[in-house]
Amino acid sequence: MLTSKEIIERTGISRATLNNYIASGLVPRPQVLPPGPEHGAAPRIGYFPDDTVARIEAIQQRKREGWSITRIAEHLAAHPPATAPAARDVAPPAPSAAAPMPMPVQAPASAASTGHLWLREVRHPAYIVDESFRIVWANDEARTSPLSPLAGAAARGGVFQRLLDLDAARGREAILRFHLDMARQRSSGTPELFAGVPQGEAASLEALLRDARAHEPRLVSHVLVPASGGAPARLAYAVHLRDGVLFAFAPPPEDAEAAAAPRPPVEAPAAPRLTPVAVLVASLHDAHGLWVRLTAQEYFELLNEVWTELDRVFRRHHGVRGLQGGEVLVSYFLPGGGQGYLFNALAAAQQTRDAMRQVSRRWHKRKSWDIELTMNVGIDEGQEWMGGVGSAALGAVRVLGDAPDRAEQLSRSSRLGTILLTRSLIGKLPPEDLQRVTYGVPAPDGSEARVLFTFARLEEIASPSTVPARFADLAVAELLDLKTTNPEAAANGAP
């Protein structure tokens, strides 16, 4: 067995990198044992398996070849270092998110090819569709459970082709309308949606799509499908992911009728305009792992609880809600909101931590677990276009440009509730706001210490995930603390 010191010396990685590999599950956690005589006064020593050096060398090699962390983890699980095939013998790189993802109808491990390893453990009927609403993943329950609209059908191709095969007496129209609502929110093009559908039925679907009412967007959408024609009552859920939409079906609770009540339509946003803006992107840490641990009902309750708490925080600091994406929350901060808009974004991020501590305590009590619920946050600023994008923008807005792209990447690169922000944002803070901000980067020795009031390249401080080349040199820091000037306001959650 090897100590962390021996591993660092043999591989040349930093302690921070080793800790990141452990946190990501690429390297097993050490076994803590009493120290030996050679370790002096150390209270305890962590020992790693003998193959850890080979494992880290394999990780480093795959990273140099451009593999994603998800793919590396899957490869190591299937081929431990002692038996891992040479790089020339492994399958070619997985397709990009824009490419169609293979179906796991025959291959048990193919859920990994979608980029969602957590899907293997889904316990309810569920499937994912891409931007054209073609089914790209479905679990066994989706093909067999009476709750699923795909039961007994081929879980492949366009989802609307499959749904049209449903018996009208078994809730077909309600399920079709729900899927069309989600397609409308994603502004999916009609030709792609109804490809392969007979012309007459495609015209009927287009009419339903045009007649669909626009409701205020929610983090998780759901609809009650009443029992009919021998089919059981069920709640249909939809979560917008980065690479498609996840649909899941579960038995309804007793109060499902009230939960599924329609929401009133909202007004369309103002016309697009060019404006200074600070963009905050927050993603739920280990959302995929939480999906595995919770029932579908609990998971969606958690997402909506997080959405409710953080939406309150963002509004308090004059944030404008952006389009939500499943486990991801977006808020925009504009000039004219009282306190400077850049500081408003920082204050909202800081208070996101406090709000999540409260959510975490409630779920700790409810589930009797030791999981700390956190949001990984990225913030950037810029002069960007802001406005509505098609019908999906009703009730929310969208900012297009470099700032939202950078903020999203920072959120992806953050770990365990870290708030990452750019040097550009810090540099534009007024002096009176800047003196209230404490920021820094991890110490080079890999300890928990931080080097204050300096920046680092994103590639140097990010979690062990592939950082695209265009973001690698982005100068960033962690938001460590934010001082308030008004104790009474601070007690009320304002800067």
Same domain (yes/no): 150, 58: no
pLDDT tens digits, one per residue of 312-330? 899 888 888 886 666 788 8
Provide DSSP, 293-328.
Answer: HS-HHHHHHHHHHHHHHHHHHHHHTTEEEB--BTTE
Provide DSSP, 53-94.
Answer: HHHHHHHHHHHHTT--HHHHHHHHHHS-TTTPPPGGGSPPPP
Could you give the CA distance from residue 394 to residue 434 in angstroms, rounded to a whole number? Answer: 36
**Which two structure tokens, joined as six digits, stand for 69?**
């962390």
pLDDT tens digits, one per residue of 10-26? 887 877 788 778 877 78
Same domain (yes/no): 131, 58: no
Query: Has residue 250 been placed in a domain?
Result: yes
Same domain (yes/no): 425, 368: yes
Q: What is the dihedral of CA 111, 116, 122, 128, to 10 degrees?
A: -80
Could you give the CA distance from residue 51 to residue 54 in angstroms, rounded to a whole number? Answer: 5
Average of pLDDT values for 47-73? 79
The number of folded domains in the chain is 3
Same domain (yes/no): 304, 416: yes
CATH value at residue 199: 3.30.450
Domain boundary among 38, 54, 89: 89
Domain boundary among 259, 287, 309: 259
Same domain (yes/no): 189, 76: no
Contact 61, 74 (CB under 8 A): no
pLDDT at position 26: 82
pLDDT at position 463: 57
Give the range of the structural domain holding residue 15, as residue numbers without chain letter. 2-89
pLDDT at position 268: 46
Same domain (yes/no): 342, 462: yes
Query: Has residue 139 been placed in a domain?
Result: yes
Could you give the CA distance from residue 423 to residue 340 in angstroms, rounded to a whole number? Answer: 17
**Which two structure tokens, joined as six digits, stand for 174?**
């309600």
Q: Residue 159: which of 83, 238, 232 has the closest Cα?
A: 238
Same domain (yes/no): 333, 476: yes
Q: Tell me the pLDDT of the chain averaged across its residues.
A: 75
Q: Which residues contact 477 (CB under 8 A, 6 or more apart)?
A: 420, 421, 423, 426, 439, 440, 441, 454, 455, 456
pLDDT band at residue 449, thresholds of 50, 70 and 90? confident
Same domain (yes/no): 363, 467: yes
